[in-house]
Amino acid sequence: MDKLKLGVLISGRGSNLQALIDACAAADYPAEIVLVVSNRPDAMGLERAQAAGIATRIIEHTNYGDRESFDRDVDAALRDAGAQLICLAGFMRLLSRWFVEEWPDRIVNIHPSLLPAFKGTDSHAQALATGVKLTGCTVHFVRSEMDAGPIIMQAAVPVLPGDTEDSLAARVLTAEHQCYPTAIRLIAEGRVTVEDNRAINTDGNMAARPLYNPPAD
């Protein structure tokens, strides 16, 4: 089986990277990570990749005068490694329009909210401030606009009384670690297509039961 070759972009601790590493370790998983790129030399995710024997590159954005020049070097590194799909895993940089257009429907991101709600870096604070009873995470194809693009998969997570940003973030992160590898599997197995800027699950396997919070009797 030819496995889909992943390039993963990180900036920090790399917990979602670790979830992908763990998934790729299974013999029947249809993808493999060929390169991890970090824009920060102190990113803990680099250690995770190295421990798994995965090639790493550090490309510091602070060495570049503009976003596109940085993106072009990242693009070159990914292509040299043979990457076919790019996974953003805590990559704290907005990608240039040039980069996104070079990889059409081949860049995916995971965001800690049920998009299109609560975009940006403070999604948990937004969820708590608005009083929603459900939040979650979203895996989506990337567009040049922040936290936009066809939604591949979502996981709903309850907001509990007394939640803080940290407690809610921890609960959502657990869902992220399950959701991201599953979404990549769907893509690698050819079970996702994009039509009219919507991601379609071609096998039609979708959850049918609603989730209530507070629980309905």
- Catalytic sites, residue numbers: 111
Contact 109, 142 (CB under 8 A): yes
Q: In which residue are the tokens 């089986």 written?
A: 1
- Letter string b/e over residues 15-52, b meaning 16 or more CB atoms within 10 A of that residue's CB: bbbbbbbebbeeeebbbbbbbbbbbbeebebbebbeeb
φ/ψ of 197, rounded to 5, equals 60, 30
Residue type, 61: H
| 62 secondary structure, DSSP code | G
Cis peptide before 150 (omega within 30 of 0): no
Contact 40, 13 (CB under 8 A): no
Residue type, 40: R
What would the two tokens of residue 193 be?
A: 């297509």
